[in-house]
């Protein structure tokens, strides 16, 4: 997750028209027509303010994420109120220049300024204050959430995640699945009010609703972007359907009636993940016989004495092997790698650029696992991207689109191949080609399984923000989408007394989620382009670019662009095409698709979502 905090407080900008009352005219004098010079001065002042005060904001939010308590929540709520108010003020002032003929860069900055508010408050101090308090309360509710059993034992999110990953007792899995969802019903009314207030703010900026605002940030019309993600889903959907069919059959073999259903859907508590978003944790159930990968990276890391810092050092070493500079010493001094024993922290992994220059950090409660090894590469991808574009003007210091930011580190992690592990002396010999299905199964249980989940989170929020889904049917609409796209259903009856969306961090945390779906497309597109540059001729899933400085140079050329150009231009700079495309992902997993379809022969695949 990319945590770039661009908080701003301070002066109000722009000329305010004088309201002149005379004996000859009882109305306001007309506002002078805006000029290009005014627009230029406006943006200069905005960027100066953002640059000066962004570091202050970074520290405020960093402290709260690492010390979650009453006082830090108060400080974040206060800062959020002030920062959002100024952001709304700037965005509304930017509308004054909508019809001017401006340079390409200046017009882009004006648009980014308007689209940069995830949750725009109305130009109303009381509503802005209320929205800031709601967002802080929701984030804190998730960070401090616990499921307390009748015996008095309480489980936080890390405990729940660990149990869902390791337990093979269907009753225990059901208990913790239900238990974690007890944290979210109190969020429901606050979330509904958040939708109401932020929609009002979006309308003031000229958008139909917040969902329309979010979709407008992709250098195309909002409706065109919605069609684009549907097109990409169509590219990769057959892969998911094959994986779903195979996994469902294996779960029925293992759990019997607890996994069996007449509609073909999979009960959500049996997939090794509290949200059923990635299924890699049940590899021991589904990855048998021909799906043996030949090694267990978690055991290798633990057996070689890896600790939290060494995990991060390995991730940094990959980037430096491509020619990137080492991370600054302050990164190692100020990052959080382990969960403290004495306080609540927000353990959800995130990457931070505190000063938009060199104060880079990650915050993560690292465990010595293959999953966290990959996640570290993901988070460091944010940091190296943040540093690459630090020379851009403030409003261009961001990803080409938010999917780019999430894809960068995951693209690097695709090079965690047997050949790479051998180069690190973590493997003595690479598994032969007969193990490829196993290697791909491990990847596919996470990468392929995630695709529909990554899509539906924001499809649900788009419906909520548009009013198609109201607070009276939040939960029903949530499960309708999960059944439609994932073929996954709740293991017990759910009702509108529940608020299951709130049990997923990105809903109370108000983090747009389509970026993760796009990242799962883009990372494979980046990987194929990089492997082609490197002259790789073998199967795409066996390619590693570790140590290839020429690829690193081309990669950096894309990163330094930040958001200064529309994302198709940035994409073309590295891949040679300006169109997102799922074909690289399909190529990567082609051997697995063949294997799955052979295993599924004679099975009734698919599901009935009702």
Active site residue 348: yes
SS3 176: helix
Residue 516 a catalytic site member: yes
Please pick, among 269, 377, 405, 506, the residue that the annotation labels catalytic: 506
- Active-site pick, 50, 207, 420, 516: 516
Note if 59 is an active site residue.
no
Confidence grade of residue 6 (pLDDT, cut at 50, 70, 90): very low
Could you tell me the pLDDT band of residue 7, with boundaries at 50, 70 and 90?
A: very low
Q: Which residues of 402-429 are buried (b: 16+ CB within 10 A; e: fewer)?
A: bbbbbbbbbbbbbbbbbebbeeeebbee
pLDDT at 13 > cutoff 60: no
Break the chain into its structural domains and give their ranges.
Answer: 35-223
| Structure-model confidence comparison of residues 295 and 25, the more confident one | 295
pLDDT, residue 457, reads 97
Q: How far is CA 223 from CA 214, 362, 434, 481, in A?
A: 11, 35, 45, 19
User: What pLDDT, on the 0 to 100 scale, is given for residue 573?
Assistant: 94
pLDDT tens track for 78-95: 888 888 788 888 988 888
3-state secondary structure of 155: strand
Q: What is the dihedral of CA 546, 551, 552, 553, to 10 degrees?
A: 160
Is residue 513 part of the annotated active site? The answer reads no
- What phi-psi label fits residue 250: left (phi over 0), alpha (psi between -120 and 50 degrees) or beta? alpha
pLDDT, tens digit, 9 for 90 and up, residues 433-488: 888 999 899 999 999 999 999 999 999 999 999 999 999 999 999 999 999 999 99
Q: What is the pLDDT of residues 192-231, one digit of tens each?
A: 999 999 999 999 888 999 999 999 989 999 899 999 999 9
The per-residue pLDDT for 561 is 97
Q: What is the pLDDT of the chain when averaged over all its residues? A: 90
Residue 382 annotated in active site: yes
Is 349 a residue of the active site?
yes
Q: Which of 379, 388, 477, 570 is catalytic?
A: 379
State mean pLDDT over 146-163.
92
3-state SS of 534-601?
Answer: CCCCCCHHHCCCCCCHHHHHHHHHHHCCCCCCCHHHHHHHHHCCCCCCCHHHHHHCHHHHHHHHHHHC
Among 377, 378, 405, 527, the active-site one is 378
From the candidates 349, 519, 570, 584, give the one annotated as an active-site residue. 349
Lowest mean pLDDT among 312-326, 342-356, 412-426: 342-356
């Amino acid at each position: 997750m990319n945590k770039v905090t661009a908080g701003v407080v301070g002066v109000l900008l722009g000329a305010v028209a004088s309201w002149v009352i005379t004996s000859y005219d009882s109305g306001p004098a007309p506002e002078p027509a805006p000029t290009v010079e005014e627009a230029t001065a406006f943006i200069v002042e905005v960027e100066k303010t953002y640059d000066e005060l962004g570091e202050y904001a970074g520290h405020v939010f960093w402290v709260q994420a690492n010390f979650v308590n009453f006082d830090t929540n108060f400080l974040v709520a206060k800062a959020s109120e002030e920062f959002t108010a100024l952001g709304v003020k700037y965005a509304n002032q930017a509308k004054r220049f909508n019809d001017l003929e401006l340079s390409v860069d200046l017009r882009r900055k004006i648009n980014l300024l308007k689209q940069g508010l995830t949750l725009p408050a109305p130009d109303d101090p009381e509503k802005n204050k209320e929205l800031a308090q709601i967002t802080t309360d929701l984030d804190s509710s998730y960070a401090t959430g616990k499921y307390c059993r009748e015996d008095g034992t309480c489980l936080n999110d890390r405990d729940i995640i660990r149990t869902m990953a390791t337990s093979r007792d269907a009753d225990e899995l059901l208990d913790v699945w239900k238990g974690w969802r007890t944290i979210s019903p109190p969020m429901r009314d606050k979330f509904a009010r958040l939708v109401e207030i932020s929609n009002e703010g979006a309308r003031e900026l000229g958008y139909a609703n917040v969902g329309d605002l979010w979709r407008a940030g992709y250098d195309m019309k909002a409706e065109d972007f919605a069609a684009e993600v549907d097109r990409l889903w169509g590219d990769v959907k057959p892969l998911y359907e094959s994986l779903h069919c195979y996994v469902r059959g294996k779960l029925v073999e293992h759990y019997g009636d607890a996994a069996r259903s007449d509609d073909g859907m999979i009960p959500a508590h049996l997939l090794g993940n509290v949200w059923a978003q990635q299924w890699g944790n049940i590899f021991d159930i589904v990855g048998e016989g021909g799906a043996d990968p030949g090694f267990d990276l978690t055991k290798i890391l633990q057996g070689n004495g890896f600790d939290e810092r060494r995990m991060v050092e390995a991730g940094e070493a990959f980037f430096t092997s491509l020619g990137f500079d080492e991370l600054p010493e302050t990164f190692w001094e100020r990052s959080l790698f382990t969960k403290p024993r004495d306080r609540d922290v927000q353990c959800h992994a995130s990457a931070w650029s505190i000063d938009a220059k060199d104060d880079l950090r990650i915050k993560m409660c690292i465990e010595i696992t293959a999953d966290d090894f990959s996640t570290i590469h993901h988070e460091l991808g944010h940091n190296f991207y943040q540093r690459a574009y630090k020379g851009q003007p403030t409003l261009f210091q961001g990803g080409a689109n938010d999917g780019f930011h999430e894809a960068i580190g995951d693209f690097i992690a695709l090079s965690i191949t047997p050949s790479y592990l051998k180069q690190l002396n973590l493997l003595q010999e690479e598994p032969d080609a007969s193990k490829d299905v196993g290697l791909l199964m491990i990847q596919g249980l996470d990468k392929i399984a995630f695709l529909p989940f990554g899509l539906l989170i924001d499809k649900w929020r788009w419906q909520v923000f548009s009013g198609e889904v109201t607070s009276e049917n939040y939960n029903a609409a949530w499960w309708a989408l999960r059944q439609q796209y994932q073929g996954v259903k709740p293991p017990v009856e759910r009702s509108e007394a529940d608020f299951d969306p709130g049990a997923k961090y990105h809903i109370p945390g108000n983090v747009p989620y389509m970026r993760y779906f796009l990242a799962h497309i883009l990372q494979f597109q980046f990987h194929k382009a990089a492997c082609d540059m490197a002259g790789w001729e073998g199967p795409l899933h066996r390619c590693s670019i570790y140590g290839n400085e020429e690829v690193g140079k081309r990669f950096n050329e894309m990163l330094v662009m930040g958001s200064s150009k529309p994302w198709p231009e940035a994409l073309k700079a590295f891949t040679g095409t300006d169109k997102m495309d799922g074909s690289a992902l399909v190529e990567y997993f082609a051997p697995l698709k063949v294997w799955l379809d052979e295993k599924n022969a004679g099975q009734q695949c698919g599901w009935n979502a009702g």
